[in-house]
Chain A
Amino acid sequence: MLTGFLLVLSGALFAEGGRDEDPRNASSDLWEASVIDEILEAPQVSFAQAALFVQAAAESSVGMSDFPDRPITTGELSFLIMKAFNIKGSFLYAIFPGPRYSYRELKFQGFLSEPSDPGMKVSGPQLLQIVERILNQEGSK
């Protein structure tokens, strides 16, 4: 089950439009099995881990220079994803860009599992699941 999930995730990552390079060979060793295992086993993912993972998945930079080591919340992860994947939010997100309306946007689009809360800490499996859903949708566009 876990292997299948990782294969799906890896497949989705590799199938991203225009990318013919294996990210494992690219800029970082993020996709090494040990790293993914570490994320999967993490009860809480740090802001820095999540930021690196999301940015690598999106192949973008969100323009943040300082990633703290404290645990990341669902709201913060949602904001990171909105930035990294250039997701257009609601008019309220356009006025008040931040974790609050980012969380609502991802929940509205079905990327977040229930029950969830913007202040909840994100576990490793949750991070992988959310990023997988986003990559699946990006891939289907």
Chain B
Amino acid sequence: MKWYKTALLSLVIIFFHSALFAVDFGVLLSGNPGYDSTETDNAFSVSANATPWVSVQFNPNLSLFASAALKFSWEHGKVQPFLVELDRTELSWHPAPAVFLEFGRQQFSDSAGLISSGLLDGVNGSLSVGGARLSLGAFYTGFLYKQTAYITMTAHDTIPYGKELDYGDFSTYFASRRILVPFGVEFPGLSDRTSLVLNLIGQFDVNDIGENDERLHSQYLELHFFIEPADPLHFNIAAVAEMAEVIAEEGGLQASFAASAGLDWELPGALQDLLSLDVRWAIGQIDNETIGAYLPISRVTAGEIFTPGLPGLLYAKTSYTARLHKTFSLAGGCGYFIRTDLDNPFDAELDPDSDSRFLGGEIFTSLVWAPQSALRITADGGLFFPELGGAFVSDAKIRAKASVNVTVSF
């Protein structure tokens, strides 16, 4: 218990040393009705969320932000268990101008969003050296809520995941236990118009399971290159190489790959329009012992309306965003899906007799209206057309999704 007392004493010293600290607090309340035509029980859903938060500024170099997420929802045709989660809760510290440290539950994502994104528990630090910024972290996933962590699961992980949430049995709450160690190097000014980010991430499965159960260990190397060929034009390309080992499964260590490219064009004009083109790809299952399907750390999806996992898919989309007013922006776009192998993605309406690679296309739109600092309304929706491809059964219906979110900030 010595470490506990030391930590508590340190906090007390910080508290009294920073007697003039500033505190702010508040709560976000939101309502979220939605419609999803693929839901078999009931296409409609509604949720009410409350996010209380507190922010403490001890001094210009040390601050604490803590928040929680409370969710009450009616989904799949029934009332879901009341959900309580620790949300973003982090202590941020600048011990020196070039050094930044964050402790606690914090947002983490690799540069291109092809490996992992979401909240993680741990520590992350960065150091600016010359024209480069180095970062190193250590995170644990075992305290996250299983359904919002989106950790890629092994067969063993699916057993606790499938159990209904019961606050009397914490094994029904937590996600699979993994330790992540990300290391990154950023060169923001590689040249006048280029920059480069390198990410190395290791994932270690530390679940307390039997010798014959599956464990997923994986390592990722990501290179993300940005270039600005002309002022309103931004281009980026990213590639990921993965080495994954699912112990207790035949085959051992396998390599796999993923990639993405994007182009943003900020159109000149008063509306601050943005035209975007994005392409994402990840290798699927192929008949090879050394190369396997891409296994990201947390679920990486393709698409806005049809949202399968990225492995085995090539997804291309274009979208157009216009800020019509200071308080109002509107976006719309379309995308198309091609599968690179016949085993991915899994969908109940895929035709097992079809060898077509073309899955179909989608259109989507979203609007954001923030008429006041205390009020924000967003609406999203779209349609997926399986008949634009040849992989679904012939009578597969058009899929529709729509949702509205109203948030009031007290």
Q: Does A104 contact B (CB under 8 A)?
A: yes
CB distance A91 to B22 under 8 Å? no
Contact B24 A91 (CB under 8 A): no
Q: Does B57 belong to the interface (CB within 8 Å)? A: yes
What are the residues of chain A within 8 A of B195 when measuring CB–CB? none
User: When each residue 65-86 of chain A gets 1 if its CB lies under 8 Å from chain B and 0 otherwise, what string results?
Assistant: 0000000010000000000000
B21 proximity list for chain A (CB < 8 A): 119
Residues of A within 8 A of B372 (CB): 89-91, 108
Which of A92, A109, A118 gathers the greatest number of chain B CB atoms within 10 Å? A92
The verdict on B84 contacting chain A, using a C-beta distance below 8 Å, is: no
**C-alpha spacing A120/B60, complex, angstroms:** 8
Please determine whether A117 and B22 come into contact, CB atoms closer than 8 angstroms: yes
Query: Which residues of A from 85 to 111 have beta carbons under 8 Å from B?
Result: 89-93, 100-101, 103-105, 107-109
Question: Are A104 and B63 CB-contacts (below 8 A) given A73-B22, A119-B22, A119-B23?
Answer: no
Shortest CB–CB separation between residue B407 and chain A, in angstroms? 13
A90 to B407, CA, bound (A): 13
B interface residues, how many (CB within 8 angstroms): 15
> Does the CB pair A92–B410 fall under 8 Å?
yes
**CB of A4 within 8 Å of the partner chain:** no
Q: Is the interface of B mostly helix, strand, loop or mixed?
A: strand
B374 and A120 within 8 A (CB): no
Max chain A Cβ within 10 angstroms of own Cβ: one of B55, B60, B373, B375: B373
Residues on B with beta carbons closer than 8 Å to the beta carbon of A105: 373
Answer whether A104 and B57 are a contact pair too, CB < 8 Å, given A73-B22, A117-B22, A119-B21.
Answer: no
Inter-chain CA distance A69–B32, complex, in Å, is: 47
B370 partner residues in chain A, CB cutoff 8 A: 108
Q: How far is the CA of A92 from the CA of B374 in the complex (A)?
A: 7
Complex contact A117–B55 (CB within 8 A): yes
Residues of A in contact with B (beta carbons under 8 Å apart): 73, 89-93, 100-101, 103-105, 107-109, 115, 117-120
B interface with A by C-beta (< 8 Å): 21-24, 55, 57, 60, 63, 370, 372-375, 409-410
28 contacts between A and B (CB under 8 A): A73-B22, A89-B372, A90-B373, A90-B374, A90-B375, A91-B372, A91-B375, A92-B410, A93-B373, A93-B374, A100-B24, A101-B373, A101-B374, A103-B24, A104-B409, A105-B373, A108-B370, A115-B63, A117-B55, A117-B57, A118-B22, A118-B24, A119-B21, A119-B22, A119-B23, A119-B57, A120-B22, A120-B57
